[in-house]
């Protein structure tokens, strides 16, 4: 299978994973290892002044093969996103940033105007910007022109596990994009991930579906296998669909 390149770094795995919602940091670590993911997201929060030495989650994630992908979750506009990205660069020593600006807590849908503005600014500052966005093909082109390293259209709202509700739009995005397309959010089952990969998505980002599974480590393996299968199928070239039956066995009668 071909390798994925983002921000000059080569990735063998096309499964990106998140670190939210696991019942413990140990379980999170086991699931990440089992997923064999090389791109792992982290969020940021203020240090609790009453317990400044609390468990450092980075210790559970840091590994040579893993690229940390800090996100800007919690910001409400481009200005805050730029500050958050700078904080992430200082704290984690990486230029990679998952840009997410979703001011409305009910649906967590990304603000396209602020996202484009922040992307333009962050690219100038040398960041490798992976913007989380609505599955909007026009916006994707604008982000690409602004220098985004990828586009990350949503399949369905964050944490809903509903799958590729935006499938038709993601198809257009994949067809038109010159930067890698990472389907983010809403992927709730390995079959959803495989579907995105078969369509030609370059990677998928999965968090909730692994973290809240009955057995997160097994689910991480299931997603890993689904992503590999989906990508392999895409590269192999899927057969065309047809409205009527086409026999796969000879129809010449051999019984008289």
Partner 1 sequence: MKVFLNRQEICVGSRVTLKELLLGQSITPEGIAVAVNNRIISKDEWAETFLSNNDKVTVIHAACGG
Residues known to be catalytic: 98
List Cα–Cα distances, 95 to 14, 78, 220, in angstroms: 20, 17, 27
The minimum distance between CB 152 and partner 1, in angstroms, equals: 11
List Cα–Cα distances, 19 to 5, 12, 74, 78, in angstroms: 22, 20, 16, 24
Q: How many CA atoms lie within 13 A of 31 on its CB side?
A: 32
Which tokens is 179 given?
A: 């930067």
The minimum distance between CB 244 and partner 1, in angstroms, equals: 44
Q: Which of residues 14 and 234 has its CB atom nearest to partner 1 in the complex? A: 14
Binder of partner 1 out of 1, 5, 83, 175 (CB under 8 A): 83
Which tokens is 35 given?
A: 């997923």
Nearest to 20 by CA among 154, 181, 216, 165: 216
Q: Which of residues 200 and 210 has its CB atom nearest to partner 1 in the complex? A: 210
List Cα–Cα distances, 186 to 98, 163, 208, in angstroms: 16, 5, 8
Nearest to 34 by CA among 249, 237, 211: 211
Q: Which residues of 145-169 are buried (b: 16+ CB within 10 A; e: fewer)?
A: ebebbbbbbbbbbbbbbbbbbbeeb
d(Cα 242, Cα 117) in Å, to the nearest integer? 44
Q: Which of residues 97 and 234 has its CB atom nearest to partner 1 in the complex? A: 97
The reply to whether 207 sits near partner 1 by the rule CB under 8 A is: yes
The reply to whether 188 sits near partner 1 by the rule CB under 8 A is: no
The minimum distance between CB 90 and partner 1, in angstroms, equals: 4
The reply to whether 138 sits near partner 1 by the rule CB under 8 A is: no
Point out which span in 13-21, 149-157, 161-169, 226-234 binds partner 1 (CB under 8 A). Answer: 13-21
The reply to whether 153 sits near partner 1 by the rule CB under 8 A is: no
Binder of partner 1 out of 4, 6, 31, 42 (CB under 8 A): 42
In the block, which residue shows the tokens 């899927």? 238
Q: Which of residues 41 and 200 has its CB atom nearest to partner 1 in the complex? A: 41
The minimum distance between CB 246 and partner 1, in angstroms, equals: 43
Binder of partner 1 out of 14, 31, 92, 164 (CB under 8 A): 92
Q: Which residues bind partner 1 (CB under 8 A)?
A: 18-22, 25, 28, 41-49, 52-53, 56-58, 70-71, 73, 83, 86-92, 158-159, 205, 207-208
């Amino acid at each position: 299978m071909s390798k994925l390149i983002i921000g000059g770094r080569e990735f063998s795995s096309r499964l990106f994973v998140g670190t939210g919602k696991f019942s413990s940091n140990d379980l999170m670590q086991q699931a990440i290892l089992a997923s064999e993911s090389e791109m792992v997201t982290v969020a940021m929060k203020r240090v609790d002044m009453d317990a400044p030495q609390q468990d450092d989650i980075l210790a559970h994630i840091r590994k040579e093969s893993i690229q940390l992908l800090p996100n800007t979750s919690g910001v409400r506009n481009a200005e805050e996103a730029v500050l958050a990205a700078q904080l992430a660069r200082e704290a984690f020593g990486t230029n990679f940033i998952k840009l997410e600006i979703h001011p409305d807590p009910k649906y967590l849908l990304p603000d396209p105007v602020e996202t484009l503005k922040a992307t333009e600014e962050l690219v100038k500052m040398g960041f490798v910007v992976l913007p989380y966005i609505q599955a909007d093909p026009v916006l994707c082109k604008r982000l690409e022109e602004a220098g985004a390293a990828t586009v990350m259209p949503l399949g369905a709202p964050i944490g809903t596990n509903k799958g590729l509700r935006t499938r038709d739009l993601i198809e257009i995005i994949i067809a038109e994009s010159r930067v890698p397309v990472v389907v983010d959010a809403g992927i709730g089952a390995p079959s959803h991930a495989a579907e995105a990969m078969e369509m030609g998505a370059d990677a998928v980002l999965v968090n909730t579906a692994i973290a809240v599974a009955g057995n997160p480590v097994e689910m991480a393996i299931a997603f890993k296998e689904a992503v590999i299968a989906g990508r392999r199928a895409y590269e192999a070239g899927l057969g065309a669909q047809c409205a009527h039956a086409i026999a796969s066995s000879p129809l010449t009668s051999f019984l008289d």
